[in-house]
Amino acid sequence: MRLTTCLVVLGIVFAGALPFIASADTSAEIRAVEHTGPGVVATEGDRTYITSWQESTVSVAVASDGGNYDVCLETDGDDGSSATIQCQPVESTAPGGEQRTEFALGQWPTNSTGEHVLTVTIHPTGDDESSTQAMHLVTVLAAEGDADGDNLGNEREVERGTSVLVADTDTDGLTDGDEVNRYETDPVDTDTDGDELADGVEANELESNPTAKDTDSDGLDDGAEVTTYGTDPTVGDTDGDSLDDGPEVNAHETNPTTADTDDDGLDDGPEVNVHETDPTAADTDGDGLDDGPETNRYETNPTESDTDGDGLDDGREVTVVGTNPNRGDTDGDGRGDGTEVEDGTDPNSPAGAVARSLGLGSGLTTLVVGIGGIGLVVLVVLGAAALNSGWESRFRVRSRARDYLDADASGSGSDATADVTGPAPNVGAETHGSLQPDVLLDDDDRVLKLLDEHDGQLRQSSVVDETGWSKSKVSRVLSQMDDDGEIRKIALGRENLIMRVEDVPEHARSPFEDR
């Protein structure tokens, strides 16, 4: 038999063809070598990476012109010597025929890890001198080793499906070891929590949680906060306006990066939670005054265009007429501001305006001023037309008018001094209370009137309901009245009970309060 020597390139297959160098000294031919199975974990160039703790299979395709052959699988030892792993006989085949022989490899010896040469040898049975060889490079990985230096051992990488040769399998900016050991993210998923931010970006740049879609629990996913709204995914309330970013975007349609969306002088949070105004409209009630000035400067109700119900919008009262938007009758002449403006009289001038607004210029028939030895009596006699017009209902009867009427009715006019500077009494009225329409009462009197109507005591929440005022205004008015000694606020659970000072029971009084 003539021996020829040549180099042929064969295929060793694992996820594709791999170079395999063979030499031939016989008529037998090694056509292909495949290395497969769970133990084969990677290929790189002409090198195959196998694990030392898993099985793999080497399959050899052989063709010959006849005769019997032995196919052997060998490897080099750590000392450079060659060691036979397995040999199997191959029977002759018809010319051009092919036979496949498989070698099942168990666990690789733990002391034989690292780089090795795997050799397939074919020689005629009984002839150890003539042979054909095919060689391939293998790297045997130890279970506890770390081939890619990512702080995740080879065996753990195989278990998790990560690459033993690539430190960051999913290319998300975190090494496989950090993902598993530190952040508990998925090393084969770029975006573990599905918030459209890569795990590495969350951990390294934003300091958000790569395992939670909404790190700050504000109702917006981290990705949307960064890429859409420009908010901070680690802070629930980016602009610090007491509204979380999610409700700002989803419920109120405010700007989560601006504390005062409508630039009216009130932060979005207080508008929603305290004043019940629209945080996207500077002037919620459309009265010509922005919500901020109404609340902070004029103390009007930003949700009511006409706080005092006098027929004039708050803005007009402040900027045009110059009247008090919290008092229906600014000058206290008995006529509402709106009526005076409509009639052409001055709602800011109490002296003389009273007579003009009542039409007393033509209706006055007699004015008698008498001076006696014991007092001063002023008598105003009106014509029938003035009486029939119901002029008396335009006056507010305060305590000094009651004192005047009581003194006059008891016949003590000679000892009493009438306060002619106050509003005139209502002659013939059945009750004084009927002369006080709420629109003409100031805030303190309106609260006192409510107490009279509710047997002298009322919950603070009921004052809000009865007056229609905002909670902040009710709290402000009651606190001032308490400081002035007009009422007392008594804590009742989580709410206040409002009472006149004289009606407070002994057990509820302060030990320092005068009895």
Least trusted range by pLDDT, from 275-284, 308-317, 347-356? 347-356
Name which of 35-39, 338-342, 405-409 the model is least confident about.
Answer: 405-409
Token pair belonging to 123: 């020689």
What is the Cα gyration radius of the chain? 50
- Average of pLDDT values for 89-108? 80
142: left (phi over 0), alpha (psi -120 to 50) or beta: beta
Share the mean pLDDT of the chain: 78
Kindly compute the dihedral angle of the four CA atoms of residues 20, 25, 30, 33, in this order, to the nearest 10 degrees.
-30
Q: Which helix (H) or strand (E) holds 448?
A: helix 443-453
Confidence of residue 178 (pLDDT cuts 50, 70, 90): very high
Q: Determine the average pLDDT of the residues in 122-132.
A: 78
* Domains of the chain, CATH where assigned: 7-141 (2.70.50.60), 356-437 (no CATH), 442-508 (1.10.10.10)
* 451 to 454, 487, 490: CA distances (angstroms): 5, 10, 14
Tally Cβ neighbours within 10 Å of residue 78. Answer: 11
DSSP conformation class of 423: P
Q: Residue 136: which of 18, 53, 250 has the closest Cα?
A: 18
Query: Would you state the pLDDT for residue 292?
Result: 96
Q: What pairing do the DSSP bridges indicate for beta strands 29-36 and 99-105?
A: unpaired
pLDDT at 209 over 80: yes
Average pLDDT over residues 395-424: 39
Closest CA to 40 of 57, 23, 16, 18: 57
- The helix/strand/coil state of 345 is coil
Confidence at residue 491, expressed as pLDDT on a 0 to 100 scale? 78
pLDDT of 404 reads 38
Q: Which residues pair with 8 in a beta bridge?
A: 22
360 or 37, higher pLDDT:
37
pLDDT tens digit sequence for 485-509: 899 988 776 788 899 888 887 765 6
Average pLDDT over residues 66-82: 78
Q: What is the pTM of this model?
A: 0.59
**Least confident stretch, 48-62, 117-131, 152-166, 458-472:** 117-131
For position 238, what pLDDT does the model report? 98
Q: Give the model's pLDDT for residue 438.
A: 60
